[in-house]
């Protein structure tokens, strides 16, 4: 009798063993997907990890229902990668499966088709007159339709099948008449598979010639790849990093390898794909979460077949595509925290996962950014990674000029116009007069982060979370950014009944509204989570701004990530303090990255750009580093702090979050759990309440574990797992959840 160990998308650590019915034994291989019964009523799609002859003894095994593939769809190498993720990020293989196969059934989908009409093969130029003669006697309408078909399909030059829908529209005719012509064997219908990836008829262009600096860097990278698996390209914004990537991709493709080009954000894939398509044509495919199942499946299959799509441009989930011969992984904007999945397991960092994946393939990894993350730069400094630098912008465009504006003065003198200093407004006006564009950055969406009653101090909060509700003007509602709860804007204070509710603080929506009142004749747009819910809306904002239909673009960190706009001369940072004062040990580093990146959008082609930073603490060291664009000084200052306070890169962090409906339960469990952990590990901090300590009616408690880099993380992780198991079996945390976040950001 044969058995299969099967990975099932449920959050239990073990695999489940099923028996293989005899009629399926012949076609059963590891890496195939199967349909299996689970529990009393459920049916799951799982993946066979192992086939053997040992019957499980602890439980009564069930039988596999069906095999869903004709060949293995998951290779050994992919399994190894899944297992690494599960081990490193302390999650189950079922969790990884869910992230890796977002679609239920790769390889077996119904392709979308479209109906085409063409002349029947029996019709030719020679017998056409006879056909017309006969037809004219029978039906005037059919004759007319045939005539218009010949015209529409370009019959007298090179007849092409035409789309049924388009033709009916053109001829203003009915399907009935058309069908009569088909019955007479004059026309014929065909179903064609729709090519969902627009095969753009682009002229394929040769690679650009690298300039001197880029060429040196390109050669250095190749040399370093002889000794190192990972190289960091630290290049200022607009130095031509992307051009260097393109040359390396081209080399890898020529050696018959596959390439993965990772970006942190869908918006970026949209902007860069055009540039890459003109060079690599249909060798390149995109992959991201806004694709539907059909598109995802199609991409999966094309990568699997290794035909076209030898290069994948994608976001973090593309790590799980079925690569067979990866030669190079490029991780652009490597410092971005959106590479880390934080909302559900596996809570993996795609940058770190990619480095591991590349290693398994014997491939190389190139990390690129203008603002490396401290941990990455540290790895480069100690020689673990190779390091190369591009310090000049392409064609000697100058770095933007940074101007820090002390808003305290203007507040005192009552010269602020709401959130705009007179300096910023003046620069905006000048730029508008010169037909230049402007970007305004505010890292908060909505109109204002909270409301307050001026009489009694009441602040509307979410019913389900311990957080104030954000006012959204568009919908005239108060919205919870943690759970989505919303309520209508209250007409009066719900605590004291007074009518003195005021909006406090500001988000992107307010900035957009206000700037439009200052400059009524201009066009504004906003790019944040609220305005980019669909793939199309992203594209529209970006292309409208590119084609200058929009004068001022207001946005959150979404606009900071590597978008290129040629005509932007002014970048305004509305409130640097919100970033600098954020209570997190990475706040300084993040502020430096964000402001430097947003600044990089200014003055890219025609003239030097200007960045205006509004702040109440102009003397803040991070702002000083930004002003002189001194990454290294920032790095050294941060590194000293990290060392002193035991943070990465010197210590690894693991955050454990306990989640429960009842506050008392979570409190007690967290205290008990922390005590257990302290017996096993040196540095256990907490339990503490997170900034938002209740989300969706669940109470949260955090415990932070710090592990010295010199100690093996495996041992610590085992201890943590032991404590988790003890907590689970203790009975004090029934129906509670423990969220494990390794390397939290």
Q: Which residues bind Zn ion (CB under 5 A)?
A: 453, 455-456, 458, 462, 464-465, 480, 482-483, 485, 493, 495-496, 498
Q: Choose among Zn ion, ligand ADP, none what residue 237 binds, the Cβ cut-off being 5 to 8 Å by kind.
A: ligand ADP
Query: Rounded to the nearest whole angstrom, what is the least distance from the CB of residue 169 to ligand ADP in the complex?
Result: 40
* Interatomic CA distance for residues 22 and 677, integer angstroms: 49
Choice between 261 and 651, CB closer to ligand ADP = 261
HEC profile for 538-582?
HHHHHHHHHCCCCCEEEECHHHHCCCCCCCEEEEEECCHHHHHCC
DSSP string, 307-328: SS--EEEE-GGGGGS--SSEEE
Interface pick for ligand ADP out of 153, 173, 214, 318 (rule CB under 6 A): 214
Query: Is 208 a residue that touches ligand ADP (CB under 6 A)?
Result: yes
Nearest distance from residue 452's CB to Zn ion, in Å? 9
Identified binder of ligand ADP from the candidate list 228, 241, 288, 699, rule CB under 6 A: 241
If the CB atoms of residues 556 and 564 are measured against ligand ADP, the closer one turns out to be: 564
Query: Which of ligand ADP, Zn ion, none interacts with 465 (beta carbon under 5 to 8 A by kind)?
Result: Zn ion
Give me the count of residues in the chain: 745
Asked if 211 interacts with ligand ADP (CB under 6 A), we say: yes
C-alpha to C-alpha distance for 415 and 102, rounded to whole angstroms: 54
Q: Is 238 in the site for ligand ADP (CB under 6 A)?
A: yes
Residue 279 CB, nearest distance to ligand ADP (Å)?
A: 11
- How many C-alpha atoms does 544 have within 13 Å on its Cβ side? 16
DSSP bridge pairs for 226: none
Q: Which helix (H) or strand (E) holds 351?
A: helix 350-361
Closer CB to ligand ADP, 272 or 424, in the complex: 272
User: Toward Zn ion, which CB reaches closer, 469 or 598?
Assistant: 469
Region from 182-190, 206-214, 401-409, 422-430 binding ligand ADP, contact rule CB under 6 A? 206-214
Tell me which H or E stretch contains 597: helix 587-599
Q: Which residues, at least 6 apart from 99, have a Cβ–Cβ distance to it below 8 Å?
A: 317, 320, 341, 346, 348
Tell me how many degrees the CA angle 86-92-93 measures, rounded to the nearest 5.
75
Which of 16, 394, 538, 545 is in the footprint of ligand ADP by CB under 6 A?
394
Query: Hey, CA dihedral for 208, 213, 214, 215, is it positive or negative?
Result: positive
Partner whose footprint covers residue 493, from Zn ion, ligand ADP, none (CB < 5 to 8 Å by kind): Zn ion
Nearer to Zn ion by Cβ, of 342 and 492: the residue is 492
Q: Find which of Zn ion, ligand ADP, none residue 182 binds, CB within 5 to 8 Å per kind.
A: none
Give yes or no for residue 142 binding ligand ADP (CB under 6 A): no
Shortest distance, CB of residue 456 to Zn ion, whole angstroms? 3
Measured from the CB atom, the residue of 8 and 210 that comes closer to ligand ADP is: 210
- Helix 631-644 to helix 587-599 angle (10° resolution) is 160
Cα(386)–Cα(377) distance, rounded to whole angstroms? 10
Cβ at position 395, least distance to ligand ADP in Å: 7
Alpha-carbon gap, residue 599 to 28, rounded angstroms: 56
Nearer to Zn ion, 11 or 484 (CB): 484
Angstrom distance (rounded) from CA 149 to CA 166: 11
Compute the least distance from the CB of residue 375 to ligand ADP, in Å: 21
Q: Which range touches ligand ADP (CB under 6 A), out of 29-37, 93-101, 237-245, 452-460?
A: 237-245
Report the nearest approach of ligand ADP to the CB of residue 389 (Å).
Answer: 12
Which of 69, 95, 243, 530 binds ligand ADP (CB under 6 A)? It is 243
- Please identify, using beta-carbon distances, which residue of 216 and 356 lies nearer to ligand ADP: 216
Q: How far is the CB of 356 from ligand ADP (least distance, A)?
A: 25
Report the residue from 45, 239, 376, 379 that binds ligand ADP according to the rule CB under 6 A: 239
Closest CA to 656 of 740, 713, 723: 740
Query: What's the rounded Cα separation, in Å, for the pair 364 and 330?
Result: 9
Residue 738 and residue 181: Cα distance in Å, rounded? 68
Q: Which is nearer to ligand ADP, 271 or 470 (CB)?
A: 271
Nearest to 365 by CA among 346, 386, 345: 386
Strand bridging mode 33-38 / 42-52? antiparallel
Residue position matching structure tokens 């009523």: 41
Quick one: how far is CA 113 from the chain centroid?
A: 30
DSSP classification of residue 594: H
Contact status: 593 vs ligand ADP (CB under 6 A): no
How far is residue 390's CA from residue 231's CA, in Å, rounded to a whole number? Answer: 13
Measured from the CB atom, the residue of 208 and 430 that comes closer to ligand ADP is: 208
Residue of 221, 231, 217 whose CA lies nearest to 355: 231
Residues 680, 716: Cα–Cα separation, whole Å = 8
Interface with ligand ADP, residue 391, by CB under 6 A: no
Q: Does 240 bind ligand ADP (CB under 6 A)?
A: yes
Q: Does 372 bind ligand ADP (CB under 6 A)?
A: no
Provide the token pair at 195: 């090519």
Nearer to ligand ADP (CB atom), residue 239 or residue 657 = 239
Count of residues engaged in binding ligand ADP, rule: CB under 6 A = 15
64 to 123, contacts with ligand ADP by CB under 6 A? none
Q: Which does 485 bind (CB under 5 to 8 A by kind): Zn ion, ligand ADP, none?
A: Zn ion
**Residue with smaller CB distance to ligand ADP, 278 or 513:** 278
Minimum gap (Å) between residue 234 Cβ and ligand ADP: 10
**Partner in contact with 243, chosen from ligand ADP, Zn ion, none, beta carbon below 5 to 8 Å by kind:** ligand ADP
Region of 205-213, 295-303, 645-653, 702-710 interacting with ligand ADP (CB under 6 A): 205-213
| Stretch binding ligand ADP (CB under 6 A), from 238-246, 292-300, 319-327, 399-407 | 238-246
Strand pairing class (386-390; 364-369): unpaired
Q: Which does 629 bind (CB under 5 to 8 A by kind): ligand ADP, Zn ion, none?
A: none
Q: Are 552 and 515 in contact (CB under 8 A)?
A: yes
The CB-of-278 to Zn ion minimum distance in angstroms stands at 45
CB of 448 to Zn ion, least distance (A): 17
Using the rule CB under 6 A, give the single segment among 141-149, 234-242, 347-355, 658-666 that binds ligand ADP. 234-242
11 vs 497 by CB, closer to Zn ion: 497
The single residue listed with the structure tokens 């004749």 is 521
In angstroms, the CA 13 to CA 345 distance is 13
Residues 546-565 that bind ligand ADP (CB under 6 A): 564
- Residue 268 or 480: which CB sits closer to ligand ADP? 268
Q: How far apart are CA 744 and CA 687, in angstroms?
A: 16
Residue 440: how many other CB atoms lie within 10 Å: 27
Helix H or strand E segment including 41? none
Query: DSSP for 504-550?
Result: ES--HHHHHHHHHHHSTTS-EEEESTTT-SSHHHHHHHHHHHHTTS-
- Nearer residue to ligand ADP within complex by CB, 477 or 629: 629
Region near ligand ADP per CB under 6 A, out of 170-178, 222-230, 233-241, 446-454: 233-241
Closest by CA to 178, choosing from 129, 125, 115, is 115
Q: Is 237 in the site for ligand ADP (CB under 6 A)?
A: yes
Q: Which helix (H) or strand (E) holds 670?
A: helix 663-680
Which of 235, 400, 449, 736 touches ligand ADP (CB under 6 A)? Answer: 235
Instruction: Output the smallest distance, CB 487 to Zn ion, in A.
Output: 11
Q: Are 240 and 600 in contact (CB under 8 A)?
A: no
Helix pair 93-100, 76-88: axis angle to 10 deg: 120
Interface residues toward ligand ADP, by CB under 6 A: 208-211, 214, 235, 237-243, 394, 564
């Amino acid at each position: 009798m044969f058995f299969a160990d099967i990975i099932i998308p449920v959050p239990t650590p073990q695999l489940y063993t099923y028996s293989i019915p005899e009629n399926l034994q012949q076609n059963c291989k590891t890496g195939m997907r199967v349909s299996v019964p689970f529990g009393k009523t459920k049916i799951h799609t799982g993946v066979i990890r192992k086939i053997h002859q040992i019957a499980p003894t602890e439980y009564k095994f069930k039988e596999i229902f069906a095999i869903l593939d004709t060949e293995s769809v998951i290779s050994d190498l992919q399994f190894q990668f899944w297992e690494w993720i599960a081990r490193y990020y302390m999650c189950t293989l079922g969790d990884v499966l869910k992230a890796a196969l977002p679609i239920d059934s790769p390889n077996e989908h119904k392709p979308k088709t479209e109906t085409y009409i063409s002349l029947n093969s029996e019709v030719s130029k020679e017998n056409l007159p006879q056909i017309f003669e006969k037809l004219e006697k029978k039906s005037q309408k059919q004759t007319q339709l045939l005539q218009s078909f010949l015209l529409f399909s370009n019959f007298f030059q090179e007849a092409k099948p035409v789309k049924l829908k388009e033709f009916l529209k053109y001829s203003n005719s009915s399907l009935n008449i058309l069908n009569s012509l088909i019955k007479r064997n004059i026309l014929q219908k065909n179903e064609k598979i729709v090519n969902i990836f627009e095969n753009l008829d682009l002229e394929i262009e040769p690679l650009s010639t690298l300039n001197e600096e880029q060429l040196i860097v390109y050669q250095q990278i190749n040399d370093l790849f002889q000794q190192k698996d990972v190289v960091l390209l630290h290049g200022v914004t607009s130095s031509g990093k992307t051009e260097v990537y393109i040359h390396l991709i081209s080399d890898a493709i020529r050696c018959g390898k596959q390439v993965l080009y990772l970006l942190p954000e869908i918006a970026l894939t949209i902007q860069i794909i055009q540039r890459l398509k003109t060079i690599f044509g249909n060798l390149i495919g995109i992959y991201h979460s806004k694709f539907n199942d059909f598109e995802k499946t199609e991409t999966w299959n094309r990568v699997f077949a290794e035909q076209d799509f030898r290069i994948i441009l994608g976001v973090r989930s593309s790590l799980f595509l079925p690569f067979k011969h990866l030669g190079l992984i490029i991780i652009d904007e490597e410092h971005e925290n959106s590479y880390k999945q934080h909302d559900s397991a596996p809570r993996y960092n795609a940058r770190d996962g990619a480095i591991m994946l590349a290693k398994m393939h014997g491939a190389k990894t190139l990390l690129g950014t203008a603002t490396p993350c401290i941990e990455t730069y540290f790895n480069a400094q100690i020689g673990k990674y190779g390091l190369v630098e591009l310090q000049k912008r392409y064609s000697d465009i100058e770095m933007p000029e940074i101007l820090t504006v002390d808003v305290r003065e203007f507040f005192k003198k009552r010269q602020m116009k709401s959130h705009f200093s007179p300096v910023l407004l003046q620069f905006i006006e000048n730029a508008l007069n010169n037909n230049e564009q402007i970007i305004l950055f505010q890292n908060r969406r909505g109109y204002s982060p909270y409301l307050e009653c001026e009489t009694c101090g009441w602040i509307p909060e979410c019913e389900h979370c311990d957080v104030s509700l954000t006012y959204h003007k568009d919908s005239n509602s108060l919205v919870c950014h943690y759970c989505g709860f919303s309520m209508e804007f209250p007409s009066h204070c719900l605590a004291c009944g007074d009518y003195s509710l005021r909006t406090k603080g500001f988000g992107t929506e307010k900035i957009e509204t206000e700037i439009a009142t200052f400059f009524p004749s201009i066009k504004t747009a906003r790019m944040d989570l609220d305005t980019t819910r669909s793939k199309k809306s992203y594209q529209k904002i970006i292309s409208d701004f590119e084609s200058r239909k929009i004068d001022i673009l207001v946005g959150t960190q979404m606009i900071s990530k590597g978008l290129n706009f040629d005509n932007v001369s002014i970048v305004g940072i509305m409130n640097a303090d919100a970033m600098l004062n954020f209570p997190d040990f990475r706040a300084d580093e993040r502020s430096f990255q964000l402001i430097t990146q947003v600044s990089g959008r200014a003055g890219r082609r025609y003239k030097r750009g200007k960045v205006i930073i509004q702040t109440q603490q102009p003397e803040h060291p991070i702002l000083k580093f930004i002003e002189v664009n001194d990454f290294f000084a920032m790095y050294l200052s941060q590194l000293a702090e990290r060392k002193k306070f035991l943070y990465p890169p010197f210590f690894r962090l693991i955050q454990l979050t306990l989640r429960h409906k009842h506050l008392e339960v979570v409190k007690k469990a967290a205290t008990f759990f922390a005590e257990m952990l302290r017996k096993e590990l040196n540095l256990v901090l907490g339990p503490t309440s997170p900034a938002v300590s209740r989300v969706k009616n669940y109470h949260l408690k955090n415990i932070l574990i710090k592990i010295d880099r010199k100690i093996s993380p495996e041992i610590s992780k085992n201890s943590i797992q032991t404590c988790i198991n003890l907590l689970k079996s203790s009975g004090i945390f029934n129906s509670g959840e423990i969220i494990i976040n390794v390397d939290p950001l």
